[in-house]
Structure 1
């Protein structure tokens, strides 16, 4: 066998890739598994979005290579969306870049700004991809701990007591994944000042603002943020379009230009029909978000009941499409806890440890599960 690149030694197969094989094996044995682990929306996109995709297939240029920067009307559409919902003004020609999902953006940003040996501040708990991409590009992951006592927000004073001379990027994700905690304007203002003092690029990963959240906020709404900050967003959660892989990165013309240099060498543009569907999604009225959240509100209420059955505690004010819950007293291992539930009750829940050491003692329930399935899960603890 040909020897693989050394960089592969720095990453492991994604947890869900491995665990879902195990879950699949149980299903093959006839186990009635209820999967509450994955945040993949099970609801459909709006009908007008689907119609826009289908109708676009007859367009003259539908099946040709597309611009690396996406259709002008897509960029204008998402800039109008940011102006309307986040009060952020953006130049559609220079300050936004469509992506094939924001996960692609994590890699492109890292490739554009990190050299081997540069350090990256990564939230603990946080999205595992920040670490894996950091390792793949030869940079050094440095974790900053978030805690329930600190409302899952960065401790800037503690960070500035450390050596930050090699830090190039700091990853944020508010509303926070996996805990559902929210930042506020004051927090973002302090982070921007911190980044300017230390010449650090902030990247806020912001795909959950419209799910069970009444306080939508972009870091780019803070004065001067574009000098030191980028923001990622996507249509996956807000519009039930996870499989479409439509995302965006926003920031200054200089920062976006650097990312475009990477992206233009990595793909040949997003499929035309997906862009047309995305344009329509961005035009949906407030009724769309209200109806979406009616569904998630009912599901979350049921999920709270399930968490109660397990003896877990949780924050009822948390946002996003997950319930982050603390294990009952006496339970010490999240992975052992979820395995017990998986094999005894055929319910798969995510252990908090996959998001970092600060996730120990917690589990995460996905709300991408139909009400009937959540009700069935509750009944399994009543038998």
Structure 2
């Protein structure tokens, strides 16, 4: 037998094995991707139904899923959120958003990133007051889905809030940057979780409340919330009731506010009274307090007369007529004395606040340390009532 006769034709099947396997893998991957997207829609619908039972109703005018082959991209156009029974007053609140894009990678489905397209319109269901919220960039990230998130963040660049007054938008608030971060610090989502939150505001300002708040400020607050039973969806008033019944509290671990030369830091613990209002005490240290007092305009307020509503807020029990009569009596006794007292009111108030605490140092500057008390929603600076907070439930 010759060498040529002993040769056999080579099989060509080996040339097709790799392409066939690749085709099978592509078909299998495509089936997996489409099955996963259908399951994602089912999970999203189940989550929306669960949230609706808690008074938070989410909806999309148009929803689509794309991103094949390695991503899930969910587009929600004409998004809306209706909040019902989320506050003590049970005031309904609606937010409408142009578009939300939610992205997850196939290989890491527990990390979900979302981008929000401005503007958003917020409407108070009782007064029908509307606000327009704008931003240059809005995004969020959630870790831990589809279970209850372990960590969540939301960040807005250049946010602004304007109140709609007819055809005019009136500025309400703005900032260069707003960040909110939350994470599960201890426990589990289903058993006594402890939540840690961080809020950061850069170059924030609030218009129309007081000239002092219209000046840009920097703020940062880190807190821990204890006393929650779990993190299952439920209305916030119900969650606050559970926290109060369990003796839970909100610990302000660290906070700092700076506005010009004024710097304030505070830390302490706040609980919830049986009436649903904040109770507790923060220890504050403030540098540059003498710069804040004149900005409050106390001398001008006294010169123009003190409204009873203002006295009820800052000095309960003092009558406006009595105070005005006092200044009139001073002027009658010694002409001009009442005016002198009014013009030096800021000095007296500053001295009174300085007497509340102790001398201290903050970031190399002279400062005062004193307690800021919360008594059933009333915010007290010594014996002076500076604010009244609404109930949480």
State the TM-score, normalizing by the size of structure 2.
0.22
State the TM-score, normalizing by the size of structure 1.
0.22
| Structure whose CA Rg is larger | 2
* Bigger relative CO (Cα 8 Å, ≥ 6 apart): 1
Instruction: Select the structure that is richer in strand.
Output: 2
Instruction: Select the structure that is richer in helix.
Output: 1
